């Protein structure tokens, strides 16, 4: 597995990370702990050194799973986690928890994450969503204090707008920004990616396989369990899935030429965009983990990339990526 540095920081990780959310949260019922632990161990054996979780996944259960499973590999892997929601009383409250990045909330969240992850210092700490009620300078200042105290190594942001990233970076260097980015969600190309290039910040695309769609395994008649959050996403309605199949056809045609799979082409495309991009596809299946890792070996030539660009520019993706209320929580 090749390594990549996240921007100008000294945080070097595997070219492909592993998003762990789906093991405990959002994609149907939580998966078996023993099976997921075994999967995390295989990921390390296959060269993955970058793992992504958050306190809100569960809440708390995903951090516990990742912390326990990766405890034998301390010092050999980097674990990223996130703060940014008020989870007090979350068991009794319907819907998504409110965002909160008050400095005291951040410090509380970090203490909990350190305990669940079984580490003395968090490798990469993201603000999960920008809190409109707390100046980003105060957020960066709180994380700076945590870095000075040795509890955090690197500061990251998630789904933040370019101007917010600039303001935070002026207080504390941002190591990485995490946002959704793939062939069917390219908005970060407009402002975020140019800003990251200018400032020397790494980029960590989540949902690089379009929440599973870009694997080609989700057909237009797909049915999602009520515990699977895709059942509530406009982009996963039958009409949208039918229209968006054109993107799978494009990936499939390139995949045939390269003796690869659509998912591997989607990941190779992302890796070819910038040398400081590290996608974090999530999976709960060993065969998908192996398939995703195989994507790092696929070389797309400039001609391949031009062909993908030309063909994809003619495809209009149907359906919003999130319902309006959730999209409003992002800074993009």
Nearest to 204 by CA among 164, 174, 249, 246: 174
Select which of 57, 126, 181, 206 is catalytic. 57
Report how far apart, in Å, the C-alpha atoms of 189 and of each of 205, 251, 273 are: 12, 20, 10
Spell out the SS3 assignment of 256-291.
HHHCCCHHHHHHHHHHHHCCCECCCCECCCHHHHHH
Q: How far is 61 from 227, CA to CA, in rounded Å?
A: 16
Give 26's contacts (C-beta < 8 A, 6+ positions apart). Answer: 57, 228, 229
Check residue 144 and report its DSSP letter.
H
Phi-psi region at 185: left, alpha or beta (left = phi > 0; alpha = psi -120 to 50): beta
Sheet arrangement for strand 50-52: 18-19, 50-52, 78-83, 124-127, 155-158, 174-180, 202-206
Spell out the SS3 assignment of 184-222.
CECHHHCCHHHHHHHHCCEEEEECCCCCCHHHCCCCCCC
57 is a catalytic site residue: yes
Question: CB-based burial of residue 50 (10 Å sphere; 0-12 exposed, 13-18 middle, 19+ buried)?
Answer: buried
Phi-psi region at 279: left, alpha or beta (left = phi > 0; alpha = psi -120 to 50): beta
Which of the residues are catalytic?
57
């Amino acid at each position: 597995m090749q390594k990549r540095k996240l921007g100008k920081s000294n945080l070097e990780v595997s070219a492909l990370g592993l998003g762990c959310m789906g093991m405990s949260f959002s994609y149907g019922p939580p998966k078996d702990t023993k099976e997921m632990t075994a999967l995390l161990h295989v990921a390390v054996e296959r060269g993955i050194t970058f793992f992504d979780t958050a306190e809100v996944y569960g809440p708390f259960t995903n951090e516990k799973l990742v912390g326990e499973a990766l405890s034998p590999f301390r010092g050999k892997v980097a674990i990223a986690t996130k703060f940014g929601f008020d989870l007090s009383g979350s068991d009794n409250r319907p819907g998504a928890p409110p965002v909160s990045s008050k400095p005291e909330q951040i410090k509380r969240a970090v203490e909990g994450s350190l305990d669940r992850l079984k580490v003395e210092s968090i490798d990469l700490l993201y603000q999960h969503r920008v809190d409109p009620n707390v100046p980003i300078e105060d957020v960066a200042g709180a994380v700076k204090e945590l870095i000075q105290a040795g509890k955090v190594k690197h500061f990251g942001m998630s789904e933040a707008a370019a101007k917010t990233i600039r303001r935070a970076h002026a207080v504390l260097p941002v190591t990485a920004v995490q946002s959704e980015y793939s062939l069917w969600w390219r908005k970060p190309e407009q402002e975020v990616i140019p800003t990251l290039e200018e400032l020397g910040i790494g980029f960590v695309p989540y949902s690089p396989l379009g929440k599973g769609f870009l694997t080609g395994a989700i057909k237009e008649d797909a049915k999602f369990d009520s515990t699977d959050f895709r059942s509530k996403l406009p982009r996963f309605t039958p009409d949208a899935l039918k229209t968006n199949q054109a993107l799978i056809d494009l990936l499939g045609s390139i995949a045939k030429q390269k003796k690869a799979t659509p998912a591997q082409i989607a990941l190779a495309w992302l890796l070819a965009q910038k040398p400081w991009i590290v996608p974090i596809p999530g999976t709960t299946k060993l065969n998908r983990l192996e398939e995703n890792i195989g994507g790092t070996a696929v070389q797309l030539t400039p001609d391949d990339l031009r062909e993908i660009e030309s063909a994809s520019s003619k495809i209009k993706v149907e359906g919003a990526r999130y319902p309006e209320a959730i999209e409003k929580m992002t800074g993009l």
